[in-house]
């Protein structure tokens, strides 16, 4: 998928560059600059996704998953830079409008760009439904923004060429610039959340909790902590068990619980700490939680 993204960006750069050289359209220049940054971002994603998927080693025992988040930050920075340059050129053209040349060629190129970009976004969407990747999600956000920017460019070029509204071309470039900033903020927010170990969604946390307590011998779960790291998920929790069972029995119960969670989250790294139900004191340092007092079975299992 990442190789397909690189190939798409390279094709778009070639045809948009030729069309911009012929037309001089600032809206097309904006779209060309966006595709150039998309190529750099796609190359970064291509490398990051493969590095992030490499297994843990003795130096990186939690894996390399956060490489994807770093790649997304790079993408956001490149998009911000692109938006600034495009905005500057658009404002200059608003103050000094210039006619569009070879408008038919420019519009044809933008049509091809829309088709290629739309096909790529659809393919990335299908891939993300099967497996989560913050880097690929960031790449898709760029190409989704490209669709909107290409439409704006088409409108601007057509208005300038056929309605003699040269300022529309520059206005379209300025609109693309603003759209790029909006998309970059969203990518930055998602990647920074992963780097700062933001919790998984409430739905995912509740699903993990539900899978864990399916065994009636697990009397409750507390201190559940989760985080994403590229394609991997890290899960830690304390499970409350009957204080009178053997260590071997407790181990078997928790291994079975881990397997239930792994079946739903195959890339998960899971640590479950056993607590004697009703007898555990607060522990875990600054991240510890005070165990709740004993409850009835129905209440305990809903925690």
pLDDT tens digits for range 31-42: 777 777 777 777
pTM of the model: 0.61
293: confidence class by pLDDT, cuts 50, 70, 90: very low
Q: Which fold has domain 2-195?
A: Alpha-lytic protease prodomain-like (1.20.1510)
Q: What share of the chain is helix, strand, coil (3-state, %, to 5)?
A: 65, 10, 25
Answer for the pair 12, 113: CB distance below 8 angstroms, yes or no.
yes
Q: How many residues does the chain have?
A: 303
Q: What is the pLDDT of residue 132?
A: 61
Answer for the pair 204, 231: CB distance below 8 angstroms, yes or no.
no
Rounded Cα distance, 50 and 48, in Å: 5
β-strand partners of 227: 234
Answer for the pair 289, 282: CB distance below 8 angstroms, yes or no.
yes
Q: What is the pLDDT of residue 286?
A: 64
β-strand partners of 274: 239
Q: Which CATH architecture has domain 202-301?
A: 2-Layer Sandwich (3.30)
Domain ranges of the chain: 2-195, 202-301
202 vs 182 pLDDT, higher one = 202
Computed from CA positions of residues 39, 41, 46, 47, in that sequence, does the dihedral angle turn out positive or negative? positive
Rounded Cα distance, 62 and 268, in Å: 11
288 vs 278 pLDDT, higher one = 278
Helix (H, G, I), strand (E, B) or coil at 212: helix
Task: Using alpha carbons, select from 179, 193, 125, 187 the residue that is nearest to residue 150.
Answer: 179
Rounded Cα distance, 248 and 267, in Å: 26
| Token digits of residue 271 | 């640590």
């Amino acid at each position: 998928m990442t190789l397909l993204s690189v190939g798409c960006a390279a094709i778009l750069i070639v045809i948009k560059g030729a069309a911009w050289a012929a037309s001089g359209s600032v809206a097309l220049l904006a779209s060309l600059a966006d595709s150039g940054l998309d190529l750099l971002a796609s190359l970064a994603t291509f490398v990051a996704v493969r590095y992030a998927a490499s297994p843990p080693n003795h130096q990186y025992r939690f894996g390399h998953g956060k490489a994807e988040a770093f790649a997304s930050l790079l993408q956001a920075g490149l998009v911000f830079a692109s938006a600034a340059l495009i905005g500057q050129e658009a404002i200059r053209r608003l103050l000094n409008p210039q006619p569009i040349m070879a408008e038919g060629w420019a519009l044809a190129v933008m049509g091809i760009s829309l088709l290629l970009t739309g096909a790529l976004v659809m393919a990335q969407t299908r891939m993300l439904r099967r497996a989560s990747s913050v880097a690929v999600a960031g790449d898709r956000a760029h190409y989704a923004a490209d669709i909107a920017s290409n439409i704006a460019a088409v409108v601007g070029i057509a208005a300038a060429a056929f309605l003699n509204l040269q300022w529309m071309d520059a206005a379209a470039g300025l609109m693309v610039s603003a759209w790029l900033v909006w998309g970059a903020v969203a990518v930055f927010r998602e990647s920074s959340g992963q780097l700062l170990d933001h919790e998984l969604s409430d739905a995912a946390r509740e699903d993990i909790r539900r899978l864990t307590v399916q065994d009636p011998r697990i009397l409750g779960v507390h201190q559940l902590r989760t985080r994403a790291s590229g394609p991997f998920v890290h899960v830690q929790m304390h499970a409350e068990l009957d204080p009178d069972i053997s260590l071997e029995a407790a181990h078997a119960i928790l291994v079975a619980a881990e397997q239930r969670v792994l079946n739903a989250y195959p890339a998960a790294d899971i640590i479950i700490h056993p607590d004697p139900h009703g007898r555990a004191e607060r522990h875990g340092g600054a991240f510890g939680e005070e165990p709740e007092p004993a409850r009835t079975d129905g209440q305990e299992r809903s925690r």
